[in-house]
Amino acid sequence: MLRIHCYFLNKTCLRRLIFCRMYSSNSTQKDSSDPTKRICKIIMSCPKLGLDTALDQSGIRVSTDVVEEVLKRFENAGILAYRFFEWAGKQRHYQHSVKAYHTAIESLAKIRQYQIMWDLVNSMRGERMLNIETFCIIMRKYARAQKVEEAIYTFNVMEKYDVTPNLAAFNGLLSALCKSKNVRKAQEVFDKMTDRFVPDSKTYSILIEGWGREPNLPKAREIFREMVEVGCSPDIVTYGIMVDVLCKVGRVDEAIAIVKEMESCGCRPTSFIYTVLIHTYGIDNRIEDAVDTFLQMERKGVTADVAVYNAMISAFCKVNKSKNAYRVINEMESKGMKPNSRTCNIVLNSLIGRGETDEAFNVFCKMVKLCEPDADTYTMMIKMFCERDELEMALKVWKYMKRKQFVPSMHTFSALINGLCGKADAPKACVLMEEMIERGIRPPRVTFGRLRQLLIKEGREDVLEFLHEKMNLLVKDPLCD
């Protein structure tokens, strides 16, 4: 494998040459002995109609671990994930695990294939594999799609599937509603169902966090007081949420007072609480306070995790102190802590925002060795090159991503399609749009609209009609059980 030393290089052509050769020498040999990589390669390269045949002819024997890993890698490509799931379920000496079912259900729900999702729930019922988490997953996905009534229906239908709803399920419903910005509905459900379930600290914490996101600080305080009044003691999570809520509305001094109250009650602040404080100071450009808080955390013996370091990196990036941010990354590595994709994305977003796109590419080249990029990383880089009118480089990032067997998200597809439309490259844009739809991902209206205008301008209404037909094949998200 070619080692990359492009972090401080200044020659753009050399950087591009290095990037084009990354991971190209012995990846094929490694993939041939890894069943997961072999399966992923088949799925990525084979037309969906011939997928079963290609997998059959590969002679690969699947195991629980392999199936779970493949499904995880294709979680952003629901239809492909489901086709593999169906094929694997027919193999001899193999039975789907609960985790495999759950991953498939999540993947299908992401693309709103709810009919098939409920078919899998029925299959799990037949295998007596359903549990509380199954329904919590579905509630979360419905709520995220702003299908509030369907999320509540899922909770209410649990008993029909011989799964008795308990406090964990109730908390799961409230959490799903609050995280999808439906806290008022969550409060309504809470008020109606407290006779069925005795709320615990987690229940109240969920509501406090939900009102904090509204943001509605008086209501968050009211729930906190109610919690104490009914004799439910706040725990470290509740305190952490209150600190987060206060910081989000700019009440940092009040948040500090909460931390002191915690300590007086024998509750030791966690790294999460310090992360929130450092992040807030970073947003407010109070870099000295951020550094002091970090040092205070270390003095109190709280071990910094990746999230704390990322908060410090973000704070330095906010005030354009990139060298300090890099020093924090070096400190992470010296302590044996590996940067994650979030670390990379913070630095990239800062550099791109300041117009330092060459440096952003340098960082990308180095950091793909340190951590696995995520969908946001690839989307940022592709969008950056498209905006720089360097479509060739955007396509090279796309090809590299595919070679790494990373399944693009809706935003990644859209970034490149928009770039191709900007260059009036209708053929390539149409190929990507078809691939996007084939994977069960609905393109955003703006992206589809741009391609539509380009096709009409070029007199290709026939291609536009074909894409519309593809779109119409996607399930219209029915509610069924």
Could you please report the per-residue DSSP string of 81-121? HHHHHHHHHTSTT----HHHHHHHHHHHHHTT-HHHHHHHH
> What does the pLDDT look like over 367-394, one tens digit per residue?
888 888 999 999 999 999 999 999 999 9
> In whole numbers, what is the pLDDT of the chain averaged over residues?
89
Alpha-carbon span 457 to 147, nearest angstrom: 37
pLDDT at site 404: 87
For the cut 90, the answer to whether the pLDDT of residue 10 exceeds it is no
| Count of the separate structural domains present in the chain | 2
Q: What is the mean pLDDT of residues 52-65?
A: 94
67 lies in some domain: yes
Query: pLDDT over 70 for what percent of the chain?
Result: 91
Task: Encode pLDDT of 77-100 as tens digits.
Answer: 888 899 999 999 999 999 999 999
Q: Is residue 150 part of a domain?
A: no
Using a 10 angstrom Cβ sphere, with 0-12 exposed, 13-18 middle and 19 or more buried, the burial of residue 104 is buried
**Considering 112, 130, 148, which residue would you say is the last residue of a domain?**
130
How many residues belong to the chain? 481
Residue 46 lies in a domain: yes
- 441 within 8 A of 413, measured Cβ to Cβ: yes
Confidence of residue 4 (pLDDT cuts 50, 70, 90): very low
Of 90, 114, 130, which one is at a domain's C-terminal end? 130
Does a structural domain hold residue 434?
yes
What's this model's pTM, rounded to 2 decimal places? 0.77
Does residue 412 belong to any structural domain of this protein? yes
Q: Which of 245, 210, 238, 214 is nearest to 224 (CA)?
A: 238
User: What's residue 26's pLDDT?
Assistant: 42
Structure tokens at 99: 């985790």
Domain membership of residue 256 (yes or no) is no
Residue 358 lies in a domain: no
Cα 212 from chain centre: 22
Confidence of residue 48 (pLDDT cuts 50, 70, 90): low
Least confident of 20-24, 222-226, 420-424, 467-471: 20-24
Does residue 258 have a pLDDT over 80?
A: yes
- Collapsing DSSP to helix, strand or coil, 295 comes out as helix
Q: Is the pLDDT of residue 24 over 50?
A: no
Question: What pLDDT score does 401 carry?
Answer: 92
Using the 3D structure, point to which of 130, 156, 177 is the last residue of a domain.
Answer: 130
Average pLDDT, integer, range 147-167: 97
Residue 186 has pLDDT above 70, yes or no: yes
Q: 369 versus 478: which is more confidently predicted?
A: 369
- Average pLDDT in the 65-74 region? 95
Q: Is residue 255 part of a domain?
A: no
Q: Which residues are within 8 A (CB) of 69 and not within 5 positions of it... i.e. 6 or more apart?
A: 36
- Which residue range is the domain that position 126 belongs to? 29-130
Comparing 43-47, 116-120, 191-195, the range with the smallest average pLDDT is 43-47
Confidence band for 22, pLDDT divided at 50, 70 and 90: very low
pLDDT at residue 221 is higher than 50: yes
The answer to whether residues 416 and 398 touch, using CB atoms and an 8 Å cutoff, is yes
